[in-house]
């Protein structure tokens, strides 16, 4: 998405509003994420002339489908985020990667939007924060029904120590019950 700032280029403190849609191409290249975008991202905001550069403040929303990391069921969600980024003219020779640059009277928001979308994605995709996942023994989705499996949480590296424990009795002090 491109925003024309020609009307506020010389007017410090003035701003111009914009809205539109932007396809997020960077996520199509990252197939291992296992998500599918449902259409382009929608963006609405304003660009303000700060004197040294242009401040972009915008609301961005996009919808995607993914498989839950716990129960493996597909789900769809919409993510809303706020963008606040500084753009400076390219002739300032900025070597800082934390600011975006532009040339002429057009600010191209594509890189900024792609970066913000990738940073907003969760590390694990969950259908619900309370998702119970699948049973490690039988594979049943525990969100749909409970299984009869008994799961013992023991570290496999410590399994050999189990043979040192008595199978019956034993008090809290480590001595057998009488």
Six token digits for residue 75: 């789900």
78 vs 156 pLDDT, higher one: 78
3-class state of residue 67 by DSSP: strand
The structure tokens 């993510």 sit at 79
Whole-model pTM: value is: 0.72
Q: Containing H/E element for 14?
A: none
Q: Region 119-142: what's the mean pLDDT?
A: 91
Which ranges of the chain would DSSP assign to H, the alpha helix? 110-120
If pLDDT is split at 50, 70 and 90, which confidence band does 80 have?
very high
Q: Which residue has the higher pLDDT, 97 or 140?
A: 140
CA distances from 44 to 10, 58, 60, 118 (A): 23, 5, 7, 18
| Predicted local distance difference test score (pLDDT) of residue 163 | 77
**What is d(CA 86, CA 53) in angstroms, rounded to the nearest whole number?**
7
Q: What is the pLDDT, as a whole number, of residue 16?
A: 95
**What is each CA distance from 95 to 61, 109, 115, 122, in whole angstroms?**
30, 19, 18, 29
Q: Cα 110–26–60 angle (5° rounding)?
A: 50
Radius of gyration, CA atoms only, the chain: 27
pLDDT in tens, 15-65: 999 999 988 876 665 566 778 888 889 999 999 999 889 999 999 999 989
């Amino acid at each position: 998405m491109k925003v024309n700032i020609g009307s506020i280029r010389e007017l410090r403190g003035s701003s111009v509003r914009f809205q539109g849609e932007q396809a997020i191409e960077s996520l199509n290249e990252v197939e291992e994420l296992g998500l599918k975008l449902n259409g382009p991202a929608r963006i609405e905001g304003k660009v303000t002339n700060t004197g040294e550069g242009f401040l972009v403040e915008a609301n961005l929303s996009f919808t995607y489908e993914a498989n839950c990391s716990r129960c493996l069921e597909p789900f769809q969600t919409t993510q809303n985020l706020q963008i606040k980024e500084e753009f400076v003219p390219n002739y300032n020779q900025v070597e800082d990667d934390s600011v975006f640059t532009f040339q002429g009277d057009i600010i191209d928001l594509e890189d900024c939007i792609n970066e913000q979308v990738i940073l907003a994605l969760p590390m694990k995709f969950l259908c619900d924060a309370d998702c119970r996942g699948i049973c490690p023994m039988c594979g049943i989705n525990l969100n749909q029904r409970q299984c009869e499996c008994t799961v013992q949480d023991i570290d496999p590296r410590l399994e050999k120590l189990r043979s040192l424990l008595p199978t019956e009795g034993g008090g809290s002090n480590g001595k057998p019950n009488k």
